[in-house]
Amino acid sequence: MPLERSAQANLTLEPNAPLTRRGRANRGSIASVKKPRYTCSVTVPVACSNCGALNDADFRNCIRCAARIGPNATEAPGRHSMPVTRPPYRTGPKTEALLGLWPAESLPVAKALLTLTTAVYGLQVLLAYQNERSLGTLLSGGGVVDALRSGAMISLPTLVQMEPWRLLSACFVHFGLLHIGMNMLGLVNLCRLLEPAIGSVRLLIVYVVTGILSFGGSLAYYSFTHQPSPTAGASGAIFGLMGAILGFMFRRKDQRWKEWLGKTVAYSVLFGFAVGGVNNAAHLSGLVAGALFGWLVGLDAPRPSTLWQRVFAVVCALAVLAALVLARLSNLPELLPGLG
């Protein structure tokens, strides 16, 4: 009887006895041959409790994510394996509910960012429409002055020193319906991958920090080239999320980072250079900052967030609200002539 073959099992065939003939058979007939008896030792892999990758039973670290296995490994579904010890409880961002109410799989931070950004644009359009009642105002979000009143930034060191909160408030302001639509689509798609992986607390931190650093890089670039211009949009922070995914996969030795770099990241960067009027300095700054952040939390992500991370996330949330309020109370747009 043939043995079943499995790509996951290592079979070691050891025949116990050689084939024998019972005697001389009749001429023209087939000799009776005794069937061999075989023993096989089957080593069935176990699944990593962190990423689900299959590993040999004697491996100590997962071949995909480098997490410890063995005592912490779970049995591969549908297979009989060596006895393993399961962890007494699950750990990781997927089980850490934001404020004890919303798990990371439900994307609470992504939904909050989407809601806040949409509300800021809606208020921007409403105020602009009161001054100019036209369909163009609804599509463009008003002029530069309307964007500055909502929190946009001008890449001049002097102005940023006067109102540094615009480095953050500019992440929630957009120049038109198409601008905000594309950015929010990218935000949701990236958060579907990243928020369950690193948790809602870390996602909020990386979004706010990379958003600030992206406009900081933009400020440095335009100060060096002496080409100040109004700038705003969530794309710098979104590139930060894209970079965080890249750094996260690279740190965990997930080979998909090559495909992510070659397709998603490269295409997005090239698209920015191909289209005019794009702040590529902010994109690249956010991408680099996000990759560094993803590399730092790559091995820490399976564990719930720490106390200082939760405190810092609260500070980030309060900073966002404060920046938007201060931008609304500012009289800077009225002090800058020639803006339309």
In three-state secondary structure terms, 22 is: coil
Helix (H) or strand (E) holding 40: strand 38-43
Distance CA 296, CA 251 (A): 8
Q: What CA–CA distance (Å, rounded) separates 180 from 265?
A: 20
Q: Is residue 61 within 8 Å of residue 68, measured between CB atoms?
A: yes
Token representation of residue 195: 């928020």
Most confident of 7-11, 35-39, 80-84, 249-253: 249-253
CA proximity to 105, closest of 183, 33, 192: 192
Please determine, for residue 159, whether its predicted confidence score (pLDDT) is greater than 60. Answer: yes
CA–CA gap between residue 63 and residue 306 (Å, rounded): 27
pTM of the model: 0.72
The top-scoring range by mean pLDDT among 22-26, 117-121, 251-255, 303-307 is: 117-121
Average pLDDT in the 83-99 region?
Answer: 51
Q: What single string gives the DSSP state of each residue in 50-67?
A: TT--EE-TT-SB-TTT--
Nearest to 173 by CA among 119, 209, 216: 119
> Residues 6 or more apart from 19 whose CB is under 8 A from it?
33, 34, 36
Largest Cα span, the chain: 114
The chain-wide mean pLDDT, for the chain, equals 77
What pLDDT does residue 335 have?
Answer: 61
232 within 8 A of 174, measured Cβ to Cβ = yes
Give residue 38's pLDDT: 47
Lowest mean pLDDT among 60-64, 105-109, 189-193: 60-64
Q: Please give the pLDDT value at position 58.
A: 73
| Distance, CA of 276 to CA of 4 (rounded, Å) | 61
Q: Which DSSP string do the residues of 154-216 spell out, in sequence order?
A: ES-HHHHHH-TTHHHHGGG--SSHHHHHHHHHHHHHHHHHHHHHH-HHHHHHHHHHHHHHHHH
Is the per-residue pLDDT at 235 higher than 70?
A: yes
Determine the pLDDT at residue 225: 78
Count of CB atoms within 10 A of residue 294's CB? 29
Say if CB 117 and CB 168 are below 8 A apart: no
Q: Which residue has the higher pLDDT, 27 or 222?
A: 222
Alpha helices in the chain (DSSP H): 108-131, 135-140, 144-150, 157-162, 166-169, 177-198, 200-225, 235-251, 256-259, 266-274, 280-296, 307-329, 332-335
Q: What is the distance between the alpha carbons of residues 106 and 191, in angstroms, rounded to a whole number?
A: 10
3-state SS, residue 235? helix
**Per-residue CA distances from 151 to 24, 33, 194, 293, 317 (Å):** 99, 89, 27, 26, 16
Percent over 90 (pLDDT), the chain: 33
Tell me the mean pLDDT in the region 2-9: 42
DSSP letters for 269-280: HHHHHHSTT--H
330 pLDDT more than 90:
no
Share of the chain above pLDDT 70, in %: 73
Residue 310: per-residue pLDDT: 92
Residues in CB range of 197: below 8 A, 6 or more apart: 93, 245, 248, 301
- What is the residue extent of each domain of the chain? 1-88, 95-335
Q: Helices 200-225 and 235-251, interaxial angle, to 10°?
A: 120
CATH code, residues 95-335:
1.20.1540.10
Q: Which two tokens stand for residue 234?
A: 């969530």
